[in-house]
Amino acid sequence: MNIQERLQMVIKMHNLTASSFADKIGVQRSSVSHIMTGRNKPSLDFLEKTLKTFPRVNAHWLITGITKELDRQNSVEDSKLQSEVNNNLKNKENERKQQNKKVTKVIIFYDNNTFEER
């Protein structure tokens, strides 16, 4: 699969037309048209705008078309990170128990800038 096909997948995944995709990432419609027809290759600026507008698109996949290797690496890294987090939580819990502290309030912060106290 070439980069034009991967860009076409991004456009379809977001239910866009080539024109609306161009408008959304802030490039000329003709730029998208030229890339989709194979006349031009996407520039670094074009790819950067695409990835900033669609942060869930995997940059490595978009540029190279490779996913499995990256997914395996990320999976291993995620597992290691999760283990570290779990160990840190256990250590903090043990420290708290040793100091005879009791939790009286928990504050949860959400990504929409709200919070909840428990």
In this predicted model, what pLDDT tens digit does every residue of 76-110 receive, in sequence order? 666 777 777 777 777 777 776 777 767 788 888 88
3-state secondary structure of 115: strand
* Structure token pair of residue 81: 């990170």
* 25 close to 50: Cβ distance less than 8 angstroms: yes
For 72-97, the DSSP string reads HHHHHHHHHHHHHHHHHHHHHHHHHH
Structural domains of the chain, with CATH: 3-64 (1.10.260.40), 74-117 (no CATH)
Q: Give the span between the Cα atoms of 90 and 82, in whole angstroms.
A: 12
Name residue 43's amino acid: S
Beta-bridge mates of residue 67: none
> pLDDT 10s digit of each residue in the chain, 118 long?
899 999 999 999 999 999 999 999 999 999 999 999 999 999 999 999 999 999 999 998 999 988 766 556 666 666 777 777 777 777 777 776 777 767 788 888 888 888 888 7
* Structure token pair of residue 96: 């708290």
